[in-house]
A = this chain, B = another copy of it.
């Protein structure tokens, strides 16, 4: 097989269990997904590699599908990097696919749709096998009111009230395509699809919907909370462990999504 040694841009689709990581982005205080990928790729390709991630998920947040790119002049065929990389990664990080993309393709500089799922375990006693992937909430929840509240979040809005202080986003306007509540056995799934998310935005949305479910906020309070552009107006931030990035779709060239 003939393989060119020119510089190539490679995209990898990454799934991970966030339990044991301090999030995506390199930190001083603990090991991260980005760090593990850089280490494994540098070992594999024999040159210093630094990935650029699409979504820099928080500590404890999981992904069925996140995306990163890196440049390399290494000779391994793009599609095979996936397997070679998995052999050098811990079992809680898996590369689902690797492929070459145009050299100017950047995962954060192109239109995309992302879907997050937040899972709430509603049984009286938290199920031990689900403890790492769900938030345990045992109380009456008015799902009808929560669904009504969710609809108020759909569309293009300034989500500053749903953004943790400390965000460096240039604008706090985002478009949410859909917020869906779905009961799966003893779990309530809140599925949010949007073109981008601010710092802690999904977790604050979930914390706010839970306030509605408990009757401490009304569905029609949501437009007022959005209007205030004040983090203090929204509900608390739900814990990270219930959150999973489940789907990434790119809408521009070099794009496509991976079937989960």
Contacts and interface: CB of A to CB of B under 8 A. Distances in A.
Interface of A: 15-17, 62, 64, 82, 86, 91-96, 125-129, 131, 133, 244
Q: Copy number in this complex?
A: 2
Given A91-B126, A95-B125, A131 B86 contact: no
A91 B128 contact: yes
18 contacts: A15-B125, A15-B128, A15-B129, A16-B128, A17-B129, A17-B131, A62-B129, A64-B127, A64-B129, A86-B125, A92-B128, A93-B128, A94-B126, A94-B128, A95-B125, A96-B125, A129-B133, A129-B244
A244 B93 CA distance: 24
The secondary structure that dominates the A interface is: mixed
Contacts of A16: 128
A94 B136 CA distance: 13
Nearest 9 CB-CB pairings of A with B: A17-B128, A92-B128, A94-B125, A15-B128, A94-B128, A91-B131, A96-B125, A16-B128, A17-B129
Contacts of A96: 125
Nearest to A96: B125
Contacts of A17: 128-129, 131
A239 to B, nearest CB: 13
A131 B86 CA distance: 14
A127 B91 contact: no
A91 B91 CA distance: 22
A82 to B, nearest CB: 8
